[in-house]
Structure 1
């Protein structure tokens, strides 16, 4: 099980790296006026999204496996963690929708909006780590 936990942690870290960086690219796309630079940023965003999507799936598979192996009825904190993970999956899909808007050059959101949007996974990560380590309920 330690191998599975280790693999799960690596997948989580990798997925979060993508969730941290993709919206940062969106910040730059929202500010970019040069077509060549915009296209380059768009290419980077597409490649990053395609790279982290299978990592998200591996995170979910290994997390489900761990959940099935370790779940006990007294682990109330786990339900909140699972809800936050479900929210992150939704966030991941919202990133895809935003990426499609950039591809169609129909983005209507400002770089400031994307700066705030970029903070969501940071907050979720903090709460999830506290839940896993402290197991408060």
Structure 2
């Protein structure tokens, strides 16, 4: 009885749902972190800066596991679809290239966070506004590639 139930589960669907869920949670966090940098860079109050440092660090450590889980479930999906599918699906190669940029962006935010933690504000609030908004287009391209599978 249990074997029949386990075999009836749509495993690829569940893995895909978890991949999407963790990606959404991750993106929410890395869209908000540069917004905190905007506000952090605009304040001159050390008390407020210290509060931003706490918020930034907590947010970073909250969303980083989501980045890892997104990666794990994405790799599982590729494995479940198989080598032939991976070789034939050119859209996934473009998507993965963009995903590498998002992980690099995530790492860059960490280095910015470390600078803010030392009371070093290397850029203007305008720079952090751009840093906050630019990845939206990359995310749109990733989602479009995954949904449309155009090539």
Fold agreement, TM-score > 0.5:
yes
Correspondence 1:2-21 to 2 at 5 A: 2-21=13-32
Hey, what's the Cα distance between the residues in 2 that align with 1:49 and 1:101? Answer: 14
- Residue 94 (structure 1) aligns with: 108
- Residue 5 (structure 2) aligns with: none
Aligned length: 137
TM-score normalized by the length of structure 1 = 0.96
Greater radius of gyration (CA): 2
Contact 1:19 1:121 in 2 (8 A): no
4+ long deviations beyond 4 Å: none
1:45 is matched with which residue: 46, 50, 56? Answer: 56
Q: Give the superposition deviation at 1:104.
A: 0.9
TM-score normalized by the length of structure 2 = 0.88
- Give the CA RMSD over aligned residues: 0.9
| Structure 1 runs not aligned, ≥5 long | none
| Structure 2 runs not aligned, ≥5 long | 1-11
- Residue 34 (structure 2) aligns with: 23
Contact 1:16 1:121 in 2 (8 A): no
1:82 aligns with 2:93: no
Hey, what's the Cα distance between the residues in 2 that align with 1:64 and 1:44? Answer: 31
Give the structure, 1 or 2, with the largest relative contact order (CA under 8 Å, sep 6 or more). Answer: 1
Q: Give the superposition deviation at 1:56.
A: 0.5
Note the alpha carbon deviations across 1:57-82, whole angstroms, 9 max, x for none: 00000000001112512210100110
